[in-house]
Structure 1
Amino acid sequence: MRITQGCFSFLPDLDDAQITAQVEYCLQNEWAIGIEYTDDPHPRNTYWEMWGHPMFDLRDAKGAMMELDDCRKVHGDKYIRINAFEDERGIESVQMSFIVNRPKDEPSLKMTRVDYVDRAQKYAWDVAR
């Protein structure tokens, strides 16, 4: 199963040149870049681990790509995403987020439906690797 979260998640994985182009777009919009990783990509898990600090003063995509390479060396078996933050006062939110690394074996989710009292239905997610 392929986890689909963030921008570009229904497309084939981006290569480094395409990731660089997206980071350059973010920097042109004066968005700060952050790199995060996790081994739990469940959609309700919004708290991924940060790799370093957000790069608020970054002006060149090469800096973000160097940090991404370092993160891949340490956490290459996990999901890694790039976030772009709008740091303008009053907004301060993620403007773009996309996955740039996936583990070789992605978990699969299985939904189980159980009939309950008065024809109500309950759902549960089972995670299998």
Structure 2
Amino acid sequence: MPDFKEMGDYRSRITQETFGFLKALTWDEMHDMVAYIIDQGWVPGIEHETPAEAHGHYWTLWKLPMFGVKDTAPVLEELEACHRAYPEDHVRLVGFDDYTQSLGTAFVVYQGRG
């Protein structure tokens, strides 16, 4: 039987979303991820939250989701704008699947310092 006292709080063991265990994505890799979201027909959305509050409740939406976007450039520009406006926050990109009414993907793009 496992020793649960040694396991610690699950929140201290969680990584930041889908790709949280990987090194930071390069600009080209980020472009490819945004292109994938658009190619799947998902709606890109950008969220941010302070690191201390990143677990346990919904993140704050940065503007409205980008319905109908067909190009990666506006999404990448909005990611940068959100990061400039909230440099201490985590910023994540989500892909809303409007057919299944769920998230297709969600991952942190910028790790906050706060």
Scaled by the length of structure 1, what TM-score is found? 0.72
Distance 1:2 1:79 in 2: 17
The DSSP-based 3-state class of the residue aligned with 2:28 is helix
- 1:12-51 to structure 2, matched below 5 A, reads 12-39=23-50, 40-42=53-55, 44-45=56-57, 47-51=58-62
**Structure ranking higher in strand proportion:** 1
Report the residue type matching 1:19 in the other structure.
Answer: M
Unaligned runs of 5+ in 2: 1-11
Report the residue type matching 1:104 in the other structure.
Answer: R
The DSSP-based 3-state class of the residue aligned with 1:36 is strand
- 1:87-126 to structure 2, matched below 5 A, reads 87-88=98-99, 91-104=100-113
Q: Greater Rg, structure 1 or structure 2?
A: 1
Asked if structure 1 preserves the Cα contact closer than 8 Å seen for 2:87 and 2:113, the reply is no
Match of 1:57 among 62, 68, 92: 68
Match of 1:83 among 91, 94, 106: 94
Distance 2:59 2:25 in 1: 20
Asked if structure 2 preserves the Cα contact closer than 8 Å seen for 1:23 and 1:61, the reply is yes
RMSD of the TM alignment (CA)? Answer: 1.7
**Structure ranking higher in helix proportion:** 2
Asked if structure 2 preserves the Cα contact closer than 8 Å seen for 1:6 and 1:96, the reply is no
Paired positions, count: 101
Report the residue type matching 2:43 in the other structure.
Answer: A
Structure 1 pair 102–2 and aligned structure 2 pair: CA distance change class (3 A): farther
Unaligned runs of 5+ in 1: 106-129
**1:8: Cα distance to partner?**
0.9
Asked if structure 2 preserves the Cα contact closer than 8 Å seen for 1:7 and 1:96, the reply is yes
Residue 72 of structure 1 corresponds to which residue in structure 2?
83
Distance 1:3 1:15 in 2: 23
Scaled by the length of structure 2, what TM-score is found? 0.81
**1:3: Cα distance to partner?**
5.9
